[in-house]
Structure 1
Amino acid sequence: MLLIAHRGGTERYPELTLASSRLSLELGADYVELDIRFTRDDVPVISHDEDALKLFGNPAKIQELTAEQFSSLRYADNHQLHPHTLVEVLSIGAAPVVFHIKEGGKRLPQILECIRAYGYEDKVIMGVMTSEDVRIAKKFNKNIEILALMPSKEHAAEFIENGADIIRLWERWVDEEAVRLIHEAGRQVWVMAGYKGTTGYTSPENILAWKRLGINGVLVNEVEKTKSVLLNFQA
């Protein structure tokens, strides 16, 4: 079962930083997951939230900031660290990576061209939120891997039809039938951990249950702890 570090992993460094991503990969994550939004001057940057309040103590919307203003922010929990642009991540070579495209549609080709310019097409999985974005990405490169970030599990067939390679299920969506149907379509199933109202966290019992169920990957914040659970797994 693949281990994907949600938002880069958050065990020792703030989320969505190169520091957290490097550590997660060193600890054994197969991928790091990073979110992409756009600034006021149309620069793709690494940001999950619509605003900078939670991480940086600044209430400004990301789309209201220029790329320069965004990069000048400092994490509230660690003033030595700053957020990154997409180009910064690609130029430094953080990989393999899953990009969660928060703003796709007409902006998706810009991200795809950027990934191509930095030779990342075989190092990336594109996480998209609409089946139309699946089609756009596959038209750009039929071999690029696509993760379907569906609004509900009932949309699985639609995303599969448009060419998604991996179907993301939230923890609360997981059941044997859903997993079976996706596997029968020849697609992988990844689970977004979300235990008791959290995002990125779950119990060791759930990790082992998903392993037995044949889940192909899990997105979690705690890379080291989850890796330990998987290493001790007994079929």
Structure 2
Amino acid sequence: MLLIAHRGGTDRYPELTLEASQCSLELGADYVELDIRFTKDNVPVIAHDSDALRLFGNSSKISDLTEEQFKSLKYLLNDSCHPHTLEEVLKSGVAPILFHIKEGGSALTRILEYIRAHGYEDKVIMGVVTVGDVRLVKAFNHEIKVLAFIPSKEAIMEFIEQGADIIRLWEPWVDEPSVSLVQQAGKQVWIMAAYGGIIGNTSAEKIVQWKHMGIDGVLADLVAENKALL
């Protein structure tokens, strides 16, 4: 079972930083997950939340900040760390990455062009939320793997039929019929840990249970702890 460092991992550094991502890979993560949004001047940046309040203490929306303003933010948990642009991540060499695309459609094409320009097409999985974005990625390069952040279990086959390679299930959605449906179609199941409603968190018992079920991957915060279980 693959271990994907949710939001880059949180073992030692703030989420979504290059420091966290590199640390997670060194600890044994198979992928790091990083979210992408756009700034006011249409620059793709690494950001999960729609605003900068939780991580940086700034109530501005990411889409209202310029690239320069976004890069000047400092993490509340560690003011020596700053947020990154997509280009900064691609230039760093950190890989492999699951990119969670928060803003798709025509914006997704721009992200894919960045990935191609930096030679990352074989180092990424594109995580998308609509069937249209699955088609868009596959039309750009059929070899790029696509993970579907499906809106409900009922959407599993719709995303598979459009070319998704991996289906993300929320922890509460996991059951034998859903897992079998995906795997019998020749696709992978990755689980988003969410024990007690806390995204990225789960129990040791669940990790072991999923491994025995044949689950293909799990997205979780703590890499060292979960890697030891696996």
The residue number in structure 2 matching 1:161 is 161
Letter in 2 for 1:33: E
* Deviation for aligned residue 1:215: 0.2
Q: Which residue number corresponds to residue 76 of structure 1?
A: 76
Instruction: Indicate the SS of the match to 1:14.
Output: coil
In the TM superposition, 1:1-235 aligns within 5 A as 1-230=1-230
Amino acid paired to 2:63: Q
SS at match of 2:32: strand
Percent of residue pairs bearing the same amino acid type: 66
C-alpha displacement at 1:197, in angstroms?
1.1
CA deviation digits over 1:34-81, x for unaligned, max 9? 000000000000000000000000000000000110000000111111
- Cα distance between partner residues in 2 of 1:143 and 1:192: 24
Could you tell me how far apart the structure 1 residues matched to 2:154 and 2:29 are?
29
- Compute the displacement of 1:11 (Å): 1.4
Task: Tell me the secondary structure at the aligned position of residue 209 of structure 1.
Answer: helix
Coordinate RMSD, CA, aligned: 0.4
Deviation at 1:12, TM superposition (A): 1.0
Unmatched 5+ residue regions in structure 2?
none
Using the alignment, how far apart are the partners of 1:30 and 1:154 within structure 2? Answer: 28
State the AA in 2 paired with 1:109: T
Paired AA for residue 129 in structure 2: M
2:202 counterpart SS class:
coil
Give 1:106 deviation, angstroms: 1.4
Query: Which secondary structure state, in structure 1, belongs to the residue aligned with residue 98 of structure 2?
Result: strand
TM-score by length of 2: 0.99
Distance 1:152 1:199 in 2: 17
Q: Which amino acid in structure 1 is aligned with residue 42 of structure 2?
A: D
SS in 2 for 1:190: strand
In 2, Cα distance between the equivalents of 1:77 and 1:217?
Answer: 29
- Structure 1 stretches lacking a partner, 5+ long: 231-235
Which stretches of structure 1, 4 residues or more, deviate above 3 A after TM superposition?
none
- Output one character per residue of 1:131-183: Cα deviation in whole Å (capped at 9) or x when no partner: 11000000000000000001111111110011000000000000000000100
TM-score by length of 1: 0.97
Q: How many residues align?
A: 230
Deviations 1:95-152 (A, max 9, x none): 0000000000111100000000000000000000101100000000000000000111
Give the counterpart letter for 1:169 in structure 2: L
Quote the Cα distance in structure 1 between the aligned partners of 2:164 and 2:64.
Answer: 32
